[in-house]
C-alpha cells in the first residue's frame, strides 16, 4: 500500500513540475539540426498593434541544446539577445527603448513558445515544394485544452524558404520569420 502511495505521489510531483510551455514533441530542448552547425538567418517583422519593426533574426543551437538568438534592425542596432533553454527564455540584452517590465514579460513568453514550437519544428517544413500547406505547431492539435490560450504558432514553406509566424491575440503582437537563403546571405 505504501509502495503504491509513493508511486502515486512521485507521479503527481513529476506531473506538477511539467511547465505548460513544454513542446509536445522532443522535450524541452529538441535537437534542431538546421541550426546546430551554423546560425540560421531570418528576415523578421515584429508587429505590435498598427506599428511594426523589421530586422534580422539570427538563431543558433549551442552544444548544450539551448537556442541562442539575436534580433537587430537593418542598420545593425541590436534589439535583443535571448537564450531559450528548458522551456524558458532569458533575455541577455534588451535595447533601452524596449527595456520595460511588461515588454520583457511578453517577449520572454512569446520567444519561449516561438523557439520551442516554431524554431524547434523547423525541420518539419519541407522547403522544396512551393505553396506548402500551413502547419499549426501551437496550440498542439493533440492537446487543444492545455497550454496558453490566445497564441497561435504556424509554419509553412515558400520555395526553399521556411516561414514561421507567432500571433499573440491578447497583446496584438505578431512575429513573422522568413528564412534567408544562403545565396541571399
Cβ distance to another protein smaller for residue 151 or 175: 175
> Considering beta carbons, is residue 55 or 155 the nearer one to another protein?
55
Cβ of residue 95: shortest distance to another protein, in angstroms?
7
Minimum gap (Å) between residue 92 Cβ and another protein: 6
Nearest to 83 by CA among 63, 102, 103, 59: 59
Q: Which long-range contacts (CB under 8 A, 24 or more apart) does 84-89 make?
A: 84/111, 84/112, 84/115, 84/116, 85/28, 85/29, 86/28, 86/29, 87/19, 87/21, 87/22, 87/23, 87/28, 87/112, 87/116, 88/19, 88/21, 88/112, 89/115
Q: End-to-end alpha-carbon separation of the chain, Å?
A: 64
Q: Which of 96, 82, 117, 102 is nearest to 171 (CA)?
A: 102
- Shortest distance, position 4 Cβ to another protein, whole Å: 49
Site for another protein, rule CB under 8 A: 38-39, 41, 43, 45, 52, 54, 56, 58, 60, 68-70, 72, 74-78, 81, 92-93, 95-97, 180, 184-185
Query: In the complex, what is the shortest distance from the CB of residue 43 to another protein, in angstroms, rounded to a whole number?
Result: 5
Given the complex with another protein, which of 58 and 125 has the nearer CB atom?
Answer: 58
Entry field: residues in the chain = 185
Closer residue to another protein, CB minimum distance, 97 or 133: 97
Q: Which is nearer to another protein, 6 or 99 (CB)?
A: 99
Minimal distance in Å, beta carbon 154 to another protein?
Answer: 18
Amino acid at each position: 500500500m505504501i509502495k503504491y502511495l509513493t508511486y502515486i505521489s512521485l507521479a503527481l510531483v513529476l506531473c506538477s513540475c511539467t511547465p505548460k510551455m513544454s513542446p509536445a514533441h522532443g522535450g524541452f530542448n529538441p535537437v534542431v539540426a538546421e541550426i546546430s552547425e551554423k546560425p540560421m538567418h531570418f528576415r523578421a517583422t515584429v508587429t505590435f498593434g498598427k506599428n511594426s519593426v523589421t530586422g534580422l533574426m539570427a538563431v543558433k543551437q549551442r552544444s548544450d541544446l539551448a537556442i541562442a538568438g539575436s534580433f537587430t534592425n537593418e542598420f545593425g542596432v541590436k534589439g535583443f539577445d535571448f537564450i531559450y533553454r528548458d522551456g524558458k527564455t532569458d533575455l541577455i540584452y534588451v535595447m533601452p527603448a524596449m527595456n520595460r517590465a511588461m515588454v520583457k514579460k511578453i517577449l520572454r513568453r512569446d520567444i519561449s513558445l516561438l523557439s520551442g514550437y516554431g524554431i524547434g519544428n523547423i525541420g518539419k517544413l519541407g522547403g522544396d515544394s512551393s505553396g506548402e500547406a500551413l502547419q499549426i505547431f501551437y496550440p498542439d492539435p493533440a492537446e487543444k485544452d492545455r497550454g496558453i490560450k490566445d497564441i497561435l504558432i504556424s509554419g509553412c514553406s515558400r520555395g526553399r524558404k521556411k516561414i514561421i509566424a507567432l500571433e499573440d491575440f491578447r497583446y496584438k503582437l505578431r512575429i513573422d520569420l522568413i528564412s534567408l537563403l544562403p545565396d541571399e546571405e
